[in-house]
Amino acid sequence: MKKNKMFAIAHTSWWMDFSSPYEYVREAWVKEAKRKIDVAKKLGINQITFHTHSRFIQPFYRKYQKEILDNFLFSLKELVQYAKKKDMEILLENAGEIGEITQFNLIKYIAYRLPEIKIHLDIGHAYLFGGMKSIKAFILTFKERISHLHFHDNHGKRDEHLPIGKGKINYKSVVKLLKKINYDKTITFEVFTSRKDAKNSMKKIKK
């Protein structure tokens, strides 16, 4: 990466579940995460993103929510220590599917207990679970900890990954908020429709 003057953030599988109440499953995912950290390091990457994925934050499991969040936190603490030895930084991306750890207050619960991690804020995912109010809360709360952003659009119903302007997210307000906190780090236009749409989305934001 250094030789070719390239920059990258390692982006892991969204379905890795560090919150599983089944200890052997949780440990297996932690082991796999360490392997991914090792691979990223070999590639010359010093930041790696993990998602707030869980298949156990469902209504049926509501009474076990704290236990599940604490499992996630316990796993992440182990990974932070492992990454630190490799001189790497862990980023936490807010998930975007119903049943995962998506709500601002739940992610805040994790992030405040692990000040070493940075935030990888997915604007589209934040909008799905609380609209513009949620986006504002994420940006203003984690301002100095936000290390990377995902930009894409949706209609507030599902994770569509549309071009900017094709959904309902007010990106003018998003940009104003980011300017307010003097955000000067990286952004990925995670538009799934086409590469051309991703490029056009970038041009639209620059305007």
| pLDDT for 55 | 75
Residue 95 has pLDDT above 70, yes or no: yes
The whole-number average pLDDT for the span 157-174 is: 98
Q: Name the segment(s) of the chain with CATH classification 3.20.20.150.
A: 1-99
Q: In angstroms, rounded to a whole number, what is the distance separating the alpha carbons of residues 200 and 195? A: 9
> pTM for this structure?
0.94
12-28 tens-digit pLDDT: 999 999 999 899 999 99
| pLDDT for 100 | 86
| pLDDT for 4 | 74
CB 112 within 8 A of CB 71: no
Q: How confident is the model at residue 58 (pLDDT cuts 50, 70, 90)?
A: low
Please tell us whether the domain made up of 1-99 is placed in CATH 3.20.20.150. Answer: yes
Residue 33 has pLDDT above 60, yes or no: yes
134-146 tens-digit pLDDT: 999 999 999 999 9
> 160-184 burial by CB neighbour count: b if 16+ within 10 A, else e?
bbbbbebbebebeebeebbeeeebe
Sign of CA dihedral 51, 55, 58, 63: negative
Higher pLDDT, residue 175 or 102: 175
The whole-number average pLDDT for the span 154-182 is: 98
| pLDDT for 204 | 94
Q: How confident is the model at residue 54 (pLDDT cuts 50, 70, 90)?
A: confident
Q: How confident is the model at residue 166 (pLDDT cuts 50, 70, 90)?
A: very high
Q: How many CB atoms lie within 10 A of CB 115?
A: 8
